[in-house]
Structure 1
Amino acid sequence: MAKDTPTTIVIFGASGDLTKRKLMPSLFNLYLKDRLPKNFRIVGFGGTAFTDEAFREQLLAGARQFATYAFTDEQWTAFAAGLHYLSGKYTEAPDLQRLDELISGWESGNASRLYYLAVPPKLFPVIISNLDATNQLSEDSGWRRVVLEKPFGTDLASAVELNEQVHKALHENQIFRIDHYLGKETIQNILFTRFANTIFEPIWNRTYIDHVQITVSEQVGLEHRAGFYDGVGVLRDMFQNHLMQLLMLVAMEPPASFEAGHLRNEKVKVLSAIKPMTPEQVAANTVRAQYRGYREEPDVKPNSSTATFGAIRLFINNWRWQGVPFYLRSGKSLAEKKSHIIIRFKEPPLSMFPMQTLKPNMLVLYLQPDEGVHLRFEVKAPDTVAESRSVDMEFRYAEAFGQSAIPESYERLLLDAIQGDASLFTRGDEVEASWTLIEPILEAWEKRQSPPLATYRPGTWGPVEADSLLARDGRWWMHDEAELMLER
C-alpha cells in the first residue's frame, strides 16, 4: 500500500514503561528519518486517564530521557500533533468500539492499522476478541496487523492455547510476535556474516567446527522485577526466546531468499532437528543455579528454587552439525553484561611445526556491548625458526560506522511491522517448537529438582558446575580468550 495511505498505530498499554522507554522514542526517530507513512496517527489506549496533552507531555519527557539521538522542540511539536490517547478497559467491547469510532473519523477510503499489544499475554485473547467483535480486524479497506509482546506463553500448553485463541480472529500473516532481540543490528549481522561471505559457508559444519558457545550474561540482578522474575526464571526469560533465536541463526541452512517464509522455515528446521531431552539427559546436559543472596532480595520467596543461571548442552541431529555440541548459558549477577557467540574451529590434524601447541582458530560474533566480528588465526612470530603467535582480525561497528550507528531494536521491528515484513518476527510453529525443547528441561528443573540447584557468587561467571559441564568434554568457556581478542 502506498506510503501516503492513512495509517493508525494503536498502542494498548500506552501508559506503561515500554511505550515511554522504547516504543515512542523509536517511532519518533522513524518520523525524523521520514520512514513513517506520511499520513499517520498514533493512539495510546490504556486504563490511566490522560488527556491528549498530558499523554504528549509524558512521552516528551520519555523521549528526552531515553532517546539516543538529538531533536528540536519544533520536530517534537510536529510529531506530537499525531499523538492521541483514549482511556478505557481492554475487556469492554464498548470501549474498543469508541476506539474504532475515533479512528474511523480520521479515515476515508483505504486505511491501515497496526495494533501493538504492550500488555501482559493473558490480555491478548480478550483484546483481539474485542477488536474482532467491533470489526476492527477486517482487511476489506486496508491491512490490519497485530504485534504481540513476549513472552508468548509460559509453557508449551499455554503457547498452543494462545496460538489457537489469536488464530480465531487473525490469519498468521497478520500476527507479529515480537522478540526485540531479533531487531538488534548485530543479531541480523549473523546472517550477513554467514551468507554474504563465501569464505565462511564451506567450513560452517561438523568437519571444521569443534563446538559453538552462546553466552548472554547480565551483570545486574533483579532490579525490582522480583514479582515477575521469581515465577519465571532464566529458562523462560532468556533461553526459550533469545538464546534459541541465536542458536537458530547460527545453525540454520541457507534460505532460498531473505523473504520471511523462507527464513522462518529454515529456523524451524533447526529446532526440529533437536530431540527433546529425557529427565536423565536433562540431569547430564544442563546446569541450574541461583546467585547467593537471591532469596534475600525484596519480594523473593525465602525458599525460592528459581534458577537465575542456566547452562545447556545441545546437539543438532542433521548432516551439517551431527556430533557438534552447542553450549548455551545465561544468567543474572554475572561478571559482565555481554552477549557473544564463539565458533571454535578444530585444531589442524597434524602439526608440522616442532615444539609448538597451536591454538585453534576462533570466530567471535560480539553482539553487545563492543559490537563486531573478530577472527583469531595463527602467524609466524618474527625472528624465530617456527614459533607461532595468535593474531586477531577485527571489525567493530563503532569504528566502521560511528558510535551512534546502531539504532534501537524496536525501531527496526516497528518499521518492519508497518511494512509487513515478518522476517524478524517469530511464527506460531516456531514458538511451539521452541517450547517443545524447553518444557522437558523446565519440568525436570521445577518438578524433579534435577539437576540439583547450584549456587554462585555475584560478580563471577556462574557456578563451577557450568565449568564441569564443558570439562567433561575436554572444553572450557572461552570468555577469557575472547576478552584478549578484544583488548589487542
Structure 2
Amino acid sequence: MPAEITTLLTFFGGTGDLAKRKLYPSTYNLFKKGFLQEHFAVIGTARQELTTEEFHEMVRESIADFVEDQANAEEFISHFYYIQQDITDSAAYADMLTLNNELDAKYGLKGNRIFYMSVAPRFFGTVAKYLKSEGLITENGEYNRLMIEKPFGTSFGTAEDLQNELSEAFDDAQIFRIDHYLGKEMVQNIAAVRFGNPLFDAAWNKDYIENVQVTLSEVLGVEERAGYYDTAGALRDMIQNHTMQIIGWLAMEKPASFKDTDIRAAKNAAFNSLKIYNREEVAENFVRGQYGESADGTQKKYLDEMDVPADSQNNTFVAGKLQFEMPRWEGVPFYIRSGKRLAAKSTRVDVVFKKGLNIFGGDVELANPVLTILIDPKGGIEFKINAKDVTSEFLTRVVNLNWTVSDEDKKLTPEPYERMIHDAMDGNGSNFADWNGVAIAWKFVDAIQEAWDATREQFPNYVSGSMGPVASDELLAKDGNEWVFKG
C-alpha cells in the first residue's frame, strides 16, 4: 500500500466538463490505488445550484466507468462536498472558509490544501487574491498549492500580469501550471531514454546529432472551436505550450539530480539560450499555413468553417526552426511543426543522428540513424540503424528496432491528469511549467506573431489531408534535411 496523502482538494469549476471527464475519475484512481484513504476531502464549487446529493450523483456518474467495487466508490464519494459560489465576490468565500475548517477537523487534514482552477483564465488572479485575503491559505499546513489550467496568458504581457497577480498570494514554488502533455507517459520517457542509457546520454549533443524534430499533427479541423481558435491559431494553441514543453526535455542540460528543482534549472539553462527572432529571422525560420479543401472536396477549407471570418489570417499550421545558443547545441536545428487537417494524427519526436564516416567503400550508402519516441496515438520507441543487407555483396540497409506500449502497460499507466494531481499532492514540480519557461516561450512566440501580423499571407496554402504547405518541406531542405515523418 502506498503512503497515504493527507489533503483537502478544491475544484473551482467543479461542475464543468473537465471536472466530470478527467478530474473526478483521476482523483478516484488515486483513491483506488491507496494514495487517498481516510485523510482527504474534495470540495467542488461553481455557480450552479446543487444539493450535496445532486453533486454526489454527478461524481458517481463521472467515475462510473472506473468502478469495480460499488462500496469502494461510495466511500470515495462520501468525501465530496459542494458549495455554490460566485468566485468574483469576496463575501462568497466565507462559507468556503467555514467548510474548509470543518473538513480539516473532521478528516485530520493538517491544513494541507490544493486549489485547482478549472475556470476561465480571466478568473485565475481573482480567485488567488480572494484565497489570500479571505484567509483560506493556511499558516499551519505543510503546504498550500495552486493548480492552474492553460492558457497561462495570451502573450508575454498578459502572462506577466497574471504571474504578478498570483505572486501576491502564492510563491512560485506553490504554483503548478498544468500542461497535460507533460503528464503523458511517453513524454516522460524522454528523460528515461536520454539519461538512462549511456549510448544516448553521451551522444546527446552537436557532435552526434544532426537535427531534432517534434511533430504534433491532427487530422481534425477547427470543429466547434472557431471562436477561440481564430484568436489563437496553432502558434498559441500548440506551439507556445505543448511543443515548447516537449522541447524543454530534449534541449535541457543534464540535471544535477532528478529532483524537480534541478530539472527546472537544467531546462531553464536551455530556455534562456533560445534565440528570439527578429522580423527578418522569422521569415527565414518559420512557416505558417491555413488549410484548404481536401483533394476530393469532402472537407471544406478553414475560411468556410462556421464562425471563421472570411478574411481570417489565422494559422492552422506552423513549422519552424529553433536555435539554442549554447555549446551543447551549436549549429543543431530543432524543427517543430503542428497543424490541423493533416494526413495523420501523431505526436512524436525524431532525433536524427549524424551518419558518421563511411569506411565501406563507394557502393555502400549509410543512412542517418534515427531515434523516434512515439507519444500519441500509440506509444513506443523506434531506433533505425544501419545494418548489413542479406545479399552476397557488402551492402547496407536500414533496420528498425522497435518497442510498442502493450495493452497491459496501457492499463497500468496513469492518465495525465491522475499523474499531475498526484505530483501536486507530492509537491513534485518536475512535470509542470515554471514561470521562466512560460515567459521565454511567450517572448519567442510573440516575436513570430508580431512579424506575421505585419504581413498578409495568401491562404489557403495547403490541402486538407496533406502534411502542410510545401514551404514546410522547403524550410528543412534549405539545411539539407527533411522531415522524418511523412504522414
Are positions 1:436 and 2:443 aligned together?
A: yes
CA contact (8 A) 1:274 1:317 kept: yes
What is the aligned-residue identity percentage? 35
Shift of 1:163: 0.7
Superposition deviation, residue 406 in structure 1: 2.4
- For residues 270 and 204 of structure 2, the distance between their equivalents in structure 1, rounded to whole angstroms, comes to 15
- Is 1:417 aligned to residue 414 of structure 2? no
**Corresponding residue number in structure 2 for 1:229:** 229
State whether structure 2 residue 308 is matched by structure 1 residue 311.
Answer: no
Is the CA contact (8 Å cut-off) linking 1:5 and 1:112 kept in structure 2? no
Greater mean deviation of Cα atoms: 136-145 or 202-211: 136-145
Deviation at 1:111, TM superposition (A): 2.5
Contact 2:342–2:468 (CA under 8 A) maintained in structure 1: yes
Alignment of 1:2-401 (within 5 A): 6-36=6-36, 38-64=38-64, 67=65, 69=66, 71-108=68-105, 110-292=110-292, 293-398=301-406, 401=408
How far does the alpha carbon of each residue in 1:458-488 deviate from its partner, in whole angstroms, 9 at most, with x for none? 22111111111112222211114xx8xxxxx
Match of 1:486 in 2: none
Structure 1 pair 5–280 and aligned structure 2 pair: CA distance change class (3 A): closer
Amino acid at match of 2:69: T
Matched AA of 1:192: A
Letter in 2 for 1:341: V
Q: CA deviation at 1:127?
A: 0.6
Q: Which amino acid aligns with 1:457?
A: V
1:351 shift after superposition = 4.2
Distance 1:6 1:208, change over 3 A: closer
Contact 1:6 1:107 in 2 (8 A): no
1:470 matched to 2:467:
no
Q: Contact between 1:6 and 1:40, CA under 8 Å: does it hold in 2?
A: yes
- Measured in 2, the distance between the counterparts of 1:424 and 1:453 equals 37
Query: Is contact 1:268-1:433 (8 Å) kept?
Result: no
Give the structure 1 partner of residue 298 of structure 2: none
1:93 is aligned with what amino acid? S
**Is residue 290–residue 302 contact of structure 2 (8 Å, CA) maintained in 1?**
yes
| Residues 457/3 of structure 1: CA separation in 2 closer, same or farther (3 Å cut) | same
Contact 1:345/1:361, CA 8 A, preserved across alignment: yes
Q: Across the two proteins, how many residue pairs are aligned to each other?
A: 475
List per-residue Cα deviations over 1:242-283 (Å, max 9, x = no partner).
111111111111101111111011111111111210100111
Q: Secondary structure at the match of 1:392?
A: strand
1:450, CA displacement in angstroms?
6.1
Task: State the AA in 1 paired with 2:275.
Answer: K
AA in 2 matched with 1:430: G
Shift in alpha-carbon separation, 1:350–1:356, aligned structure 2, 3 A: closer
SS in 2 for 1:457: strand
Q: For residue 178 of structure 1, report the CA deviation from its aligned partner.
A: 0.9
Single out whichever of 346-355 and 255-264 deviates more from structure 2. Answer: 346-355
- SS of the residue aligned with 1:379? strand
Give the C-alpha shift of residue 33 in structure 1: 0.6
Contact 2:270–2:324 under 8 Å retained in 1? yes
- Contact kept in structure 1, 2:349 and 2:372, CA below 8 Å: yes
Asked if the contact 1:91–1:127 (Cα under 8 Å) also holds between the matched residues in 2, the reply is yes
Give the letter for the 1:47 counterpart: R
Instruction: Provide structure 1 residue ranges, at least 5 long, that are not aligned to the other structure.
Output: 484-488
Moved more, 350-359 or 28-37: 350-359
Matched-pair contact (CA < 8 Å) for 2:181–2:416: yes
What letter corresponds to residue 174 of structure 2 in structure 1?
Q
Distance 1:33 1:314, change over 3 A: same
TM-score by length of 1: 0.93
Checking the alignment, whether the CA contact within 8 Å between 2:4 and 2:36 is kept in structure 1 is no
Give the distance between the partners of 1:367 and 1:40, measured in 2 at CA: 33
Counterpart contact for 1:137–1:170, Cα < 8 Å: no
Distance 1:128 1:37, change over 3 A: farther
Alpha-carbon deviation of 1:3?
A: 6.0
Distance 1:51 1:3, change over 3 A: farther
- Alpha-carbon distance between aligned partners in 2 of 1:16 and 1:284, rounded to the nearest angstrom: 43
Give distance in 2, aligned partners of 1:361 and 1:312.
22
Does the 8 Å CA contact 1:5/1:111 hold for their aligned counterparts?
A: no
Per-residue deviation, 1:213: 0.8
Whichever residue aligns with residue 462 of structure 2, its letter is: Y
Question: Take 1:325 and 1:4, find their aligned partners in 2: how far apart are those partners?
Answer: 45
Distance change (3 Å), C-alpha of 1:37 and 1:63: closer
Alignment root-mean-square deviation, CA: 1.8
Q: C-alpha offsets along residues 290-325 of structure 1, whole Å, 9 cap, x if unaligned? A: 112112212222221111110011111111110011
Contact 1:150/1:179, CA 8 A, preserved across alignment: yes
1:459 match: 465
* Mapped contact 2:5–2:36 kept (Cα < 8 A): no
- The CA distance in 2 between the partners of 1:429 and 1:288, in whole Å, is 26
Structure 1 residues 78 and 223, CA, compared in 2 at 3 Å: closer, same or farther? farther
Q: Is the 8 A contact 1:282 1:450 kept in 2?
A: no
Q: Helix, strand or coil for the counterpart of 2:351?
A: strand
Task: Tell me, yes or no, if the aligned pair for 1:7 and 1:37 is still in contact at 8 Å.
Answer: no
Return closer, same or farther for 1:203/1:331 CA change in 2, 3 Å cut-off: same
Are the equivalent residues in 2 in contact too, given 1:288–1:453 (CA < 8 A)? no
Change (3 A) 1:419 1:284: same
SS at match of 1:370: coil
Give CA-to-partner distance per residue, 1:429-479, whole Å, 9 cap, x none.
22111111111001112x213666552122211111111111222221111
Stretches of structure 2 lacking an aligned partner (at least 5 in a row):
293-300
Is the partner of 2:443 in helix, strand or coil?
Answer: helix
Give the aligned partner of residue 295 of structure 2: none
